[in-house]
Chains A and B, each alone.
Chain A
Amino acid sequence: MSDDLYDPPDRPLEPTNVQPLDGMEASDAIRDEVRMDPSGGSVGAVTSGGLWRTVGREVVRKKSAIIGMALLSVLLLLAVFAPIIAPYPPDQVLFDEGVSPRDPPCIHLFGCPEDQPQHILGIDGNGRDYFARIVYGSRVSLLAAFAAVLFAVVWGTLIGLVSGFFGGWTDNVLMRIMDVLLSFPSLLLAIAVVTVLGPGLINSILAIAIVTIPQYARIVRSSVLSIREQEYVSADQALGVSRWRLLIHRIFPNTLTPLIVIATLGIATAVLEIASLSFLGLGVQPPTPEWGSMLAAERNQVFTAPHLVFFAGLMIMWNVLGFNLLGDGLRDAIDPRLGR
């Protein structure tokens, strides 16, 4: 055997009995897993396709993620198909129909007499169909939460990237500003911002966004700090890749994983904060339907018209739970892969 000349590497003498998964030989992946994992390969084979496909596959296996997605799909449907689902426009006052404020629910299926107009969740304090307001409220909640988080993520990422990559004084200054923002309780700070800017949905979205930027900046910055030390970044440097391309093309995509998880969970928090601001009267202004403000409007009627309080609260909870479960599922799906 030692007489042999150098043999071309990796060309097996004949095909092995291994059935390739998705066009790739799973043996290598198992071997890698086994090497990294002292249990000797308990993790299954990683299959081909980019990292996202693998993560996607993992996510749909997680019960929490599936439940989360189910909850959110319902909300999404409500939001998208609101005009069709809601029997009345959300701000239409219905006194001329003969209803009174805070009428209890009237569902014909459950015995409400036919001559009374059907209002599944009753009438709110201003004579509007409560169910319609709940349905339309989903639009505001989802959009507002998304917008706030999106704004925060974009700015937070920019700050984190620049801070982590360039270091030095830039890093110092930016991070101290972030520290200042972080030292306030977020809700109080949001209230302060809204007080300065004036109440309203847009302003409250802005306020919450500003308050959450530091969180994302920190996450991205720490990702950048660790990715910067990776050998594949050094390899690019050795190839002469410019610093900007390095940052945007090589480093940034690798910061996305933790970011996505935190952002998803962050939407849940944003929903709560929007609701809270609206509850305090600083967010959404009447007559826009929004669950938090709807809660506020009827908070004194807890015992006399509980349906007006309960369902708004339930929807907020539904929303938050959905995003939390999805975020958890995402995190679990990403984690084992993150080990690389």
Chain B
Amino acid sequence: MTVQASDDPILEISGLETYFFTRDGVVRAVDGVDLTVGKGEILGLVGESGCGKSVTSMSVLRLIQNPGEIVGGSIRFRGESLLDLSEKEMRAIRGDRISMIFQQPVGSLNPVFTAGSQIAEVYEIHEHMTSKESKARADEMLEKVGIPDAERRAKAYPHELSGGMAQRVMIAMALAADPELLIADEPTTALDVTIQAQIIDLMREIRDDLGTSIIIITHDLGVVAEIADRVAVMYAGEIVEEADTKTLFADPKHPYTKGLIGSIPVAGLRREWLDVIPGRVPNLIDLPTGCRFAPRCRAREEAGLTICTEQRPELRTVEGEHTVRCFLYQEEAR
């Protein structure tokens, strides 16, 4: 039974700006990002290191710390503005209504507590259960996420667990309070590919059975192609392209997206040379004027566009729900 994504978005991020005020300057890690996640939808947020995808998710949960600060924009969760809540109110939301899982599962678990007790803690805090009740629920949860012999495993410490197992424990913790939104930050990057496959399947099951919306943050386009309904591509703090998954891969518009897809070796697809995106990601303190991708953009050169280095393009709709931030697709550029 698949839960259809309804019209009412669970999360609406609008014009989010998160800056880091360092000694050497202001790092504009997230610079005007709009994102929506519908109910029961899986949104893939894709980008390479330094693009700001993790900062975006941390901003949603208001986990940004000094010298970072959310300086602008709005984040609405079920219509409620998260940026206006007090820390106490945010704490009630974290783990309960919005949960997060991280990249390094063993490292993200508390090494001095057993797996079961960490899951039970969620029940104790958010649902005020007694320790006996929460322990029982924790064991249930472990079974739900596919850990065999759950009662025994619950007594294991994080270092005794394999990567895949630990990630399942994290997922169990994240799902314990039945959140409406799950943010998964590179959940499979540190895992072996066969374990990765298991975890991806698990996440899909979670969405199908529980209706949880998921934001999956990753640099792995393959993962995103497998599981996401829609994909947003980030570069240097901005969203440069967004579309539903099929469209994005069938018809990528932004040169960066194209370059990214082209640079991945695909098993079974033989190519002499992989596509290369020349140059490097720009310094987020000292950003170039105009389009941030312009210095590396071959298409710009080929099309002979000068506007790219002068003005910053806006995110515009190309067709239907497909948006791109690129002058190649904007009439006034010619």
Query: Which residues of A come within 8 Å of B, CB atoms?
Result: 1-2, 4-7, 9-19, 21, 25-28, 30-31, 34-35, 38-45, 61
Q: Is B20 a contact partner of A28 (Cβ separation < 8 A)?
A: no
Select A1's contact among B259, B282, B296, beta carbons within 8 Å: B259
14 example contacts (A-B, Cβ-Cβ < 8 A) are as follows A13-B296, A16-B282, A17-B288, A18-B283, A30-B50, A30-B283, A34-B50, A39-B65, A40-B20, A40-B30, A40-B50, A40-B52, A40-B68, A41-B22
Select A10's contact among B66, B280, B281, B283, beta carbons within 8 Å: B280
Q: Is B50 a contact partner of A11 (Cβ separation < 8 A)?
A: no
Binding site secondary structure of chain A: loop
Q: Is A41 a contact partner of B278 (Cβ separation < 8 A)?
A: no
Tell whether B147 is near chain A: CB-to-CB under 8 Å.
Answer: no
Q: Is A7 a contact partner of B49 (Cβ separation < 8 A)?
A: no
Tell me the smallest distance from the CB of B296 to a CB of chain A, in Å: 7
> In the complex, which residues of chain A have a beta carbon less than 8 angstroms from the beta carbon of B27?
30, 40-42
Q: Is A27 a contact partner of B283 (Cβ separation < 8 A)?
A: yes
Select A16's contact among B58, B271, B295, B299, beta carbons within 8 Å: B295
Binding site secondary structure of chain B: loop
B25: nearest chain-A partner, CB-CB: A44
Q: Is A42 a contact partner of B22 (Cβ separation < 8 A)?
A: yes
Tell me the smallest distance from the CB of A327 to a CB of chain B, in Å: 23
Residue among B58, B262, B279 with most chain A CB within 10 A: B279
Distance in angstroms between the alpha carbons of A1 and B271 in the assembled complex: 13
Q: Is A38 a contact partner of B50 (Cβ separation < 8 A)?
A: no
Give the total of B residues in contact with A, Cβ under 8 Å. 45
Residue among A13, A39, A40 with most chain B CB within 10 A: A40
Q: Is A14 a contact partner of B295 (Cβ separation < 8 A)?
A: yes
Distance in angstroms between the alpha carbons of A21 and B283 in the assembled complex: 11
Tell whether B54 is near chain A: CB-to-CB under 8 Å.
Answer: yes
- Extra inter-chain contacts (7) besides given A40-B27, A40-B54, A44-B23, CB under 8 Å: A10-B280, A12-B280, A13-B278, A13-B301, A21-B24, A39-B55, A41-B29
Query: Which residues of B come within 8 Å of A, CB atoms?
Result: 18, 20, 22-25, 27, 29-30, 49-50, 52, 54-55, 58, 64-68, 258-259, 262, 271, 273, 275-276, 278-289, 295-299, 301
Q: Is A35 a contact partner of B278 (Cβ separation < 8 A)?
A: no
Q: Is B64 a contact partner of A28 (Cβ separation < 8 A)?
A: no
Q: Is B262 a contact partner of A30 (Cβ separation < 8 A)?
A: no
A35 touching B49 in the complex, CB below 8 Å, given contacts A13-B301, A14-B295, A16-B282 = yes
Q: Is B280 a contact partner of A19 (Cβ separation < 8 A)?
A: no
A18 touching B67 in the complex, CB below 8 Å, given contacts A12-B279, A45-B24 = no
A1 touching B258 in the complex, CB below 8 Å, given contacts A13-B298, A40-B27 = yes
A13 touching B279 in the complex, CB below 8 Å, given contacts A40-B52, A40-B55, A45-B285 = yes
Distance in angstroms between the alpha carbons of A41 and B273 in the assembled complex: 33
Distance in angstroms between the alpha carbons of A10 and B18 in the assembled complex: 29
Select B276's contact among A9, A21, A38, A43, beta carbons within 8 Å: A9
A42 touching B58 in the complex, CB below 8 Å, given contacts A10-B280, A16-B282, A18-B288 = no
Tell me the smallest distance from the CB of B285 to a CB of chain A, in Å: 7
Distance in angstroms between the alpha carbons of A13 and B302 in the assembled complex: 11
Distance in angstroms between the alpha carbons of A12 and B54 in the assembled complex: 27
Tell me the smallest distance from the CB of B225 to a CB of chain A, in Å: 19
Q: Is B67 a contact partner of A42 (Cβ separation < 8 A)?
A: yes
